[in-house]
Structure 1
C-alpha cells in the first residue's frame, strides 16, 4: 500500500488565517449592513414612506426642546443582537413588497396600513414595548412632573402591567383607521 503524505503544516496555517480574516470580513459586512439599514435616510428612501415620515416629523420624537431625536430604528429595531437580526430578516419583506409593487404607491401603502400597523403593535405587545423602554421606563419617570392625566394613567398602567403600546398607538405616526368589515349582499 502506498504511503499517504501528511498535509503540510504551512498550508493548514494559511487556511486557518484565511478563514479567520474571512470571518472578520463577514462580521464587518453584516455590521455595516445593519448600521446602514438603521439610518433615517435608508428608512425613508422609499417614496411610500413620505407620509409616515412627515407624520413623524410632527412629533416630539423628531423635534423637541432637548434635541434628542429617536429615529426609525430606535422605535422599530431592538438593540440586542438576536432580536435585531430577526427584526432585520422580517423587515426584508417590506423592501420586497415595495419592489414587487404591493405597497409602492402612497395609495397602496394606505390600503395596507392597518394590517402593517397591527403587526407592529402585536410585536410590541409581545416584547413588552422593548424598544420604547430603551428610553421610557416607568421607574425612571418623574410622575410629579407630568400632567394630572398622564400621571394618573402611567401609575395605573404600571400597576396593571400594561405596556406602552396599549395606550400610545398613535405616537410617531397617525393611527390608521380599522377597516370596516365587508357586508355581504344577499
Structure 2
C-alpha cells in the first residue's frame, strides 16, 4: 500500500492560500500598529471638541510641561502597551464614541463638568485593573527618590496591595475627589456657582444631558484646571 504524497495535500490552491494568508496577516499587523499609533496621538484624541477641556488642563500639568522635556501623550497614559491590548482598548473605547454621538452633550462645558466625576472614577478603575501599567512605562518604582524625606522608602516598603493611582491622582486633569469622599450635591453646587446657574438646576441638567439651544455659554467659559469657586464644597483643596 503506497503512502499519500505530500504534494497530494499541498496543492497549488492550498499553497496560494497559505502564502496569501501569511501576507495578509503581516499586512494586518502593520495596519494595527499604524492604527494604534494614529489613534493614540493627542491630535486624534482631541478631534472631539469635548476632549479639548481635558487637553487644556493636561497642557498645564507637569506631564506636559516637564522640566526634563519628557512629555506624556494621551496614549502613553490611557492606552495599554502591546498591540493586542492596545487594540482591545481602542475597541472598548468605541463605547465612548457612541456616548459622544448619541449621549449627553459633552461639548457643553457645563454638561461636561457635571459628568467629569464619572469619567474620573472610570479612568481610575481602569488604572487599578492594570496595576497602573502605563504609569510604570516611565516611572520605575524602585528608582523613585523624590525630594521629600522617606519618599524612596515609602515607594519601596509601603506599596503592598497598592497601585500608583491609589496615591497619585488629580495630577493631569481637573481635580475630582476620590469616590469614597465625593459628594454629588456639593459638586453640583460648585458647577452652579461656577457658571452662574440657578440653584438646583445642575441636577436637572445632569438628568437631561443637554441644555436648550441658546443657553450654552462659550466653551472658553469652562475653567481649565479645576480652580473653580466652589471646589472646597466638593471636597477639593483650593
TM-score for both structures, normalised by structure 1: 0.80
2:116 is aligned to 113
> How many aligned residue pairs are there?
172
1:3 is aligned to none
Deviation at 1:45, TM superposition (A): 1.2
1:55-81 CA-partner distances (Å, limit 9, x unpaired): 000011112222110001111112134
Q: Does 1:156 align with 2:159?
A: no
Indicate the SS of the match to 2:139. Answer: coil
Change (3 A) 1:13 1:110: same
Partners of 1:61 and 1:27 in 2: CA distance:
30
Deviation at 1:7, TM superposition (A): 8.3
1:79 is aligned to 81
Indicate the SS of the match to 2:117. Answer: helix
Partners of 2:10 and 2:125 in 1: CA distance:
57
Indicate conservation of the 8 Å contact 1:103/1:112, yes or no: no
Q: Does 1:180 align with 2:185?
A: yes
The runs of 5 or more residues in structure 1 that have no matched partner are 1-5
Partners of 1:154 and 1:58 in 2: CA distance:
27
Higher helix share: 1
Q: How does 1:56-75 map to 2 (within 5 A)?
A: 56-75=58-77
Moved more, 43-52 or 159-168: 159-168
Change (3 A) 1:84 1:103: farther
Indicate conservation of the 8 Å contact 1:38/1:72, yes or no: yes
The runs of 5 or more residues in structure 2 that have no matched partner are 1-7, 189-238
TM-score for both structures, normalised by structure 2: 0.64
Moved more, 27-36 or 152-161: 152-161
Moved more, 83-92 or 127-136: 83-92
Indicate the SS of the match to 1:133. Answer: helix
Q: Does 1:135 align with 2:133?
A: no
1:41 is aligned to 43
Deviation at 1:154, TM superposition (A): 5.5
